[in-house]
Structure 1
Amino acid sequence: MSVRYAVYLAPACDTALWRFGSSVVGYDAETGADCVAPALCGFAPEDWRGLTDEPRRYGFHGTLKAPFRLAPGMDETDLFAALAGFAMEHHPFELPPLEVRQLGSFIALVPPAPVPALDDLALDAVERLDAVRAPLSEAEIARRKPENLTPRQRAHLHRYGYPYVREDFRFHMTLTGKLQEPAMGHAVNALSEAYLASGAHMPVPVDDVVLYMQEEAGARFRILHRAPLGA
């Protein structure tokens, strides 16, 4: 089965943050439509589109549980039930206004400081929803380049299907693919200006978790379902 699912945080689709993030990556995962990129100083629209190929495939989001295939014998009914059970154990909370930051070779929106409720939500998603996840294939493991991971990250990859969980988790909402200097510095400045101008630099209510689906390899992820927290 080539269908994959992922559990993400995504702002409500009528918010300035959703509009900003979707326009930056060039795709609205709610509607499935392409988006016009914001005017970014120093970047032509066609050049910017090339720099966001990777995040465009996934849609604007922050990862809680990375993409996975369903375990043998599981179907969407089982997935929806597991997601609802997980979500109801957590209360809604709020993130402080996110900030544009460089994370290694890409740029993302991140909280300015740790948010314990967010870390707890992510850890519980990784562990509670693992029962519906199929183990990674050898090819999927190889694509993660385990030789470049720390021993702990390799252990996470084999145990949970994703290396950046538990102690290695850092919540972020990806805005670009890999960048090099001087494009990196220019992009951080341009995105910071556009972000502040968009009106999206506001506290972020977290009152649901969002199930995304990729129908086939290489396809873009779409929003499939929102599960309310504490419902």
Structure 2
Amino acid sequence: MLGQGAAMKRYALYFAPPPGPLARAGAQWLGRDAVTGQSLAQPDPGLPALTASARRYGFHATLKAPFALAEGTDEEALLAAVDAFAAGVAPFAIGGLRVDLLGRFLALTPIGDTGPLRDFAAQVVRRFDRFRAPLTDRDRARRHPDSLPPRQRAQLDRWGYPWIFDDFRFHLTLSDPLTEAQQTRFRPMAEDLFAPLLPQPFVMDALCVFGEGVEGDFRHLHRAPLG
């Protein structure tokens, strides 16, 4: 799927499941399909308020966080570079995925050795940094750099995002921050919905480009198969 035709405020490089039951379940849980932009009824009336931020970004796992395009680049060049990179990387597998808590967030997280995922994400961060415009002061402030440890603060300043390389944790976000009571209520619900659909092994088979439209929602623009 190629670009939507309208200029995007920012771009991001993500993993997103291919069309199928898992992708549909993720879109329904969050209340929006990032491919079509369509709003969807969620499986519980309490979910809309607890997925507001996650819904904006769509069902995904971040590999390179959202960035404005650098001067002298454009969407066409980014998509071509993604295709060229993906064609040269073989698909790879890890043990699987599971519903888990990542801090206060519900997410799908990996089972088994995550080294291949971390190495792949590091390649993506480095390879596509030439497309990233420098952070604005406002964007940097949003990450609360004074609260970050020195390594993550240095990564924010050099690469535009603190949670990369050794600090990277692959996950598909299912919620905004939850209280303990909300975790107790919604984690079993997520397990019931997702557990039958989660692949074991989980295969990283594509690199996806998402774009943030003027309304602030991210759309799935392009899927580049690995290999």
The alignment's TM-score, normalised by the length of structure 1, stands at 0.90
Q: Give the deviation of 1:227 after TM superposition.
A: 1.2
1:68 matched to which residue of 2? 67
Q: Output one character per residue of 1:144-188: Cα deviation in whole Å (capped at 9) or x when no partner.
A: 111221111111111111110001001000000011121122222
Q: Give the number of aligned pairs.
A: 220
Same amino acid, percent of matched pairs: 43
Paired letter, 2:28:
S
2:198 matched to which residue of 1? 201
1:41 matched to which residue of 2? none
**Which 4+ residue blocks in structure 1 deviate beyond 6 angstroms?**
none
Structure 1 unaligned spans of 5+? 39-43
Question: Cα RMSD (Å) of the superposition?
Answer: 1.5
Aligned equivalent of 2:29, options 24, 28, 40: 24
Paired letter, 2:9:
V
What CA distance in whole angstroms lies between the structure 2 residues aligned with 1:162 and 1:144? 8
Are the aligned partners of 2:96 and 2:112 in contact in 1 as well (CA < 8 Å)?
no
2:4 matched to which residue of 1? none
1:136 matched to which residue of 2? 135
1:47-58 pair list within 5 angstroms: 47-58=46-57
Q: Higher mean Cα deviation, 87-96 or 138-147?
A: 87-96
Task: From the superposition, tell whether residues 79 and 2 of structure 1 become closer, same or farther in structure 2 (CA, over 3 Å).
Answer: closer
Q: Give the deviation of 1:76 after TM superposition.
A: 1.4
Paired letter, 1:209:
L
Q: Higher mean Cα deviation, 78-87 or 57-66?
A: 78-87
Q: Give the deviation of 1:37 after TM superposition.
A: 1.7
Secondary structure class of the residue paired with 1:210: strand
Are the aligned partners of 1:28 and 1:59 in contact in 2 as well (CA < 8 Å)?
yes
What CA distance in whole angstroms lies between the structure 2 residues aligned with 1:97 and 1:2? 33
Secondary structure class of the residue paired with 1:182: helix
The alignment's TM-score, normalised by the length of structure 2, stands at 0.91
1:1-231 pair list within 5 angstroms: 3-13=9-19, 15-38=20-43, 44-45=44-45, 47-196=46-195, 199-203=196-200, 204-216=202-214, 218-230=215-227
Q: Give the deviation of 1:71 after TM superposition.
A: 0.3
